């Protein structure tokens, strides 16, 4: 708020003379009694009701009060110019004339401004409006109920120079925040519908970057822009300071531009306390809760605590010191859960070994091996190599256990004959991939057949027309030819995938490693499948190994 001192006006009406005391604005000074008395004396007023004057000064309501029942002499219009102490604002107040006195014109205002040395930032449109209001007051007395005043000149603020800074070149906006902003102007029904779709577990946004990604560039300090007061005084701007930035690990200057910083490794980019770095590990010192939310990180994730019903997606390893309870884990490397993996919502998909203390009511799948220290209970385990449950208890009970080459445990099943399926050879994932490859190849062959027939038809037509196909037919010929090449490329890709799957399945059927080992007891109710050959255990067996030979499951002494 602009600081303006209080002031007074004395106007003559038909019924007498009125005093108006206006309050100050901001930190301006109040009207003092002495200045009012002096103004009354200058006007030569008589029979003034001093009690009313005193009350008007004290209350300063900005409303006119009758102080004497007589008219003063004809009085010209008045101009008051108030300049703030910092000389950044000039306020004009116009008091209309009385008794036919001289009006205030625009040239009078400019003369007054010049006398007060106001030369900069003058608002001509505001002056015109105030002068017009002063002239209109003769025909509309209600105008006098409000002061005719406004800011008519404004200085230019100084803009000090900005310090050097790092301009971030990566996205620093949270997806969740964007979703929340989009609902701000929606109807209640739309907000409720959107709220149902938003995953409130997506709390933190990890900034993943690849090696070589531009992260930030240094912006040099600026000199700033000088300011100016309404009286024309220059306010010198302070130049910005050069700042040294700490470039941490995982960040390096670009070979082509030393003021451009790029990622030296894949990882999480962090800028804190003027330090820019890229970390290959995302580490949580405690449990993953709603304050952390779902995690999607390009490198390895380490949790020094437990994880509930959240999702952890990592480009490399995932290591959890506690329990993964209902957690979804997708890992491009290995997964280590030092506690256990539990819950019907728990789902682990890994590219490397999965190691944990126990697994209960969960789904675990990996291209490599699954190693369980205590027990795997009522779960689905799928391994591209081996499943080993040989710790303190070494128990497999309930669920479906499928491995490409070997399953080993101390105990399999239970005395209650709990249904437990152990499968060696082709895994469900392999079957799914084979089915997909077969379906894709069939679709491609059908499309290729149609495309080839179309091309043959157009070639015959071209021959009949002496090689002069119409433009639309030539375009169609070119399009069909491009489609044919594209389909042939896709066909080759899926044939390679199918061949690899068939070779892997054949290797599993012929390998001598395909077996199920039990160092303790195999209970009734357990179903053993090796290379699609099945056997259900009807009597308890101990210290045995199951192998497939000559189209049947054979039991041999334990050979783990």
Tokens matching residue 253? 């200057």
| Per-residue pLDDT tens digits for 453-474 | 898 988 888 888 888 888 888 8
**pLDDT value, residue 158:** 93
What's the pLDDT score for residue 411? 96
% pLDDT > 90, the chain: 50
Q: Let me know the angle formed at the C-alpha of 257 by 256 and 261, rounded to the nearest 5 degrees.
A: 110
Range picked from 179-188, 353-362, 511-520 for highest mean pLDDT: 353-362
Q: Per-residue pLDDT for 106 more than 60?
A: yes
Work out the angle at residue 186's Cα, subtended by the Cα atoms of residues 181 and 189, and round it to the nearest 5 degrees.
Answer: 125
Residue 1: what pLDDT? 63
Residue 69, token pair as written in the block: 């029942």
pLDDT beyond 70 at 31: yes
Least confident of 103-112, 178-187, 248-257: 178-187
HSE-up (13 A, CA, CB side) for residue 445: 8
Residue 47 to residue 71: CA distance in whole angstroms? 11
User: How far is residue 112 CA from its own chain's centroid?
Assistant: 56
Q: Is the model's pLDDT at 64 over the cut of 60?
A: yes
Q: Is the predicted pLDDT of residue 534 greater than 60, yes or no? A: yes
Residue pair 498/525 in contact (Cβ under 8 Å)? The answer is no
The CA distance from 454 to 408, in Å, is: 57
Task: Output the average pLDDT for the chain.
Answer: 86
pLDDT of residue 28: 86
Angstrom distance (rounded) from CA 124 to CA 147: 19
What pLDDT is stored for residue 71 in this prediction? 56
Write down the pLDDT at residue 460.
87
The answer to whether residue 342 scores a pLDDT higher than 70 is: yes
Q: 444 vs 437, 483, 491, CA distance in Å?
A: 11, 11, 6
Distance of alpha carbon 150 from alpha carbon 323, whole angstroms: 70
Using alpha carbons, list the distances in angstroms from residue 294 to 55, 191, 199, 289, 304: 69, 22, 9, 9, 16
Phi, psi of 97 (to 5 degrees): -70, 165
pLDDT at residue 237 tops 90: yes
The C-alpha torsion from 275 through 277 and 279 to 284, rounded to 10°, is 20
Nearest to 520, CA basis, from 410, 389, 390, 387: 410
Residue 337: strand pairing partners: 320, 356
Give the CA distances from residue 295 to residues 205, 210, 299, 329, in Å, rounded to whole numbers and listed in that order.
8, 17, 11, 10
What pLDDT is stored for residue 334 in this prediction? 95
- For residue range 148-193, list pLDDT tens digits in order: 999 999 999 999 999 988 888 876 553 233 333 333 334 444 434 4
pTM here is: 0.54
- What is the CA angle 446-449-455, rounded to 5? 145
Taking Cα atoms as reference points, which of 361, 501, 514, 358 lies closest to residue 428? 501
Q: Answer with the residue of higher pLDDT: 506 or 159.
A: 159
pLDDT tens digits, 410-420: 999 999 999 99
Measure the CA–CA gap between 126 and 147, rounded to whole angstroms. 14
Question: If DSSP states are collapsed to H, E and C, what string results for 217-278?
Answer: EEECCCCEECEECCCCCEECCCCCCCCCCEECCCEEEECCEEEEEEECCCEEEEEECCEEEE
Q: Would strands 257-263 and 214-219 be described as parallel, antiparallel, or unpaired?
A: antiparallel
């Amino acid at each position: 708020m602009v600081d303006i001192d209080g002031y007074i006006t004395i106007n003559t009406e038909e019924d007498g003379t009125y005093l108006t005391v206006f309050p100050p604005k901001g930190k301006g000074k109040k009207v003092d009694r002495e200045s009012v008395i002096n103004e009354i004396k200058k006007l030569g007023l008589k029979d003034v009701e001093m009690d009313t004057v005193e009350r008007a000064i004290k209350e300063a309501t900005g409303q006119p009060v009758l102080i004497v029942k007589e008219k003063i002499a004809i009085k010209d219009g008045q101009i008051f110019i108030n300049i703030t102490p910092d000389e950044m604002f000039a306020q004009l107040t116009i008091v209309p004339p009385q008794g036919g006195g001289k009006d205030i014109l625009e040239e009078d205002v400019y003369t007054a401004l010049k006398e007060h040395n106001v030369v900069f930032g003058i608002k001509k449109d505001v002056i015109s409006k105030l002068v017009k209001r002063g002239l209109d007051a003769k025909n509309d007395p209600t105008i006098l109920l409000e002061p005719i005043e406004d800011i008519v000149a404004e200085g230019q603020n100084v803009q000090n120079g900005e310090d050097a800074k790092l301009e971030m070149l990566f996205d620093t906006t949270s997806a969740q925040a964007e979703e929340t902003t989009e609902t701000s102007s929606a109807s209640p029904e739309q907000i409720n519908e959107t709220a149902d779709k938003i995953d409130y577990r997506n709390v933190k946004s990890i900034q993943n970057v690849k090696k070589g990604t531009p992260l930030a560039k240094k912006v040099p300090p600026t000199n700033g822009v000088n300011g100016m007061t309404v009286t024309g005084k220059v306010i010198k701007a302070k130049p910005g300071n050069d700042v040294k930035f700490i470039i941490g690990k995982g960040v390096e200057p670009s070979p082509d531009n030393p003021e451009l910083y790029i990622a030296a490794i894949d990882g999480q980019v962090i800028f804190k306390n003027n330090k820019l770095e890229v970390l290959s590990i995302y580490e949580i010192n405690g449990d993953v809760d709603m304050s952390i939310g779902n995690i999607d990180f390009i490198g390895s994730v380490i949790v020094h605590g437990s994880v509930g019903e959240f999702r952890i997606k990592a480009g490399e390893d995932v290591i959890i010191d506690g329990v993964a309870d209902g957690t979804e884990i997708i890992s491009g490397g290995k997964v280590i859960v030092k506690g256990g993996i539990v819950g019907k919502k728990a789902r682990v998909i890994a590219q490397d070994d999965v190691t944990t203390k126990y697994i209960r009511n969960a789904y675990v799948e990996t291209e490599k091996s699954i190693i369980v220290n205590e027990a795997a209970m009522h779960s689905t385990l799928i391994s591209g190599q081996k499943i080993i449950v040989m710790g303190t208890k070494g128990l497999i009970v309930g669920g479906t256990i499928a491995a490409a080459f070997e399953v080993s445990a101390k105990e399999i099943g239970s005395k209650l004959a709990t249904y437990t399926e152990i499968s060696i050879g082709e895994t469900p994932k392999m079957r799914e991939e084979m089915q997909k490859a077969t379906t894709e190849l069939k679709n491609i062959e059908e499309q290729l057949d149609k495309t080839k027939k179309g091309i043959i038809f157009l070639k015959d037509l071209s021959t009949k027309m002496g090689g002069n196909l119409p433009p639309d037919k030539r375009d169609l010929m070119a399009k069909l030819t491009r489609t044919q090449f594209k389909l042939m490329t896709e066909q080759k890709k899926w044939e390679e995938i199918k061949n690899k799957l068939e070779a892997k399945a054949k290797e599993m059927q012929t390998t001598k490693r395909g077996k199920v080992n039990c160092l303790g007891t195999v209970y009734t109710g357990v179903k053993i499948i090796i290379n699609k050959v099945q056997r259900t255990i009807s009597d308890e067996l101990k210290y045995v190994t199951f192998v497939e030979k000559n189209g049947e499951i054979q039991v041999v002494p334990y050979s783990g």
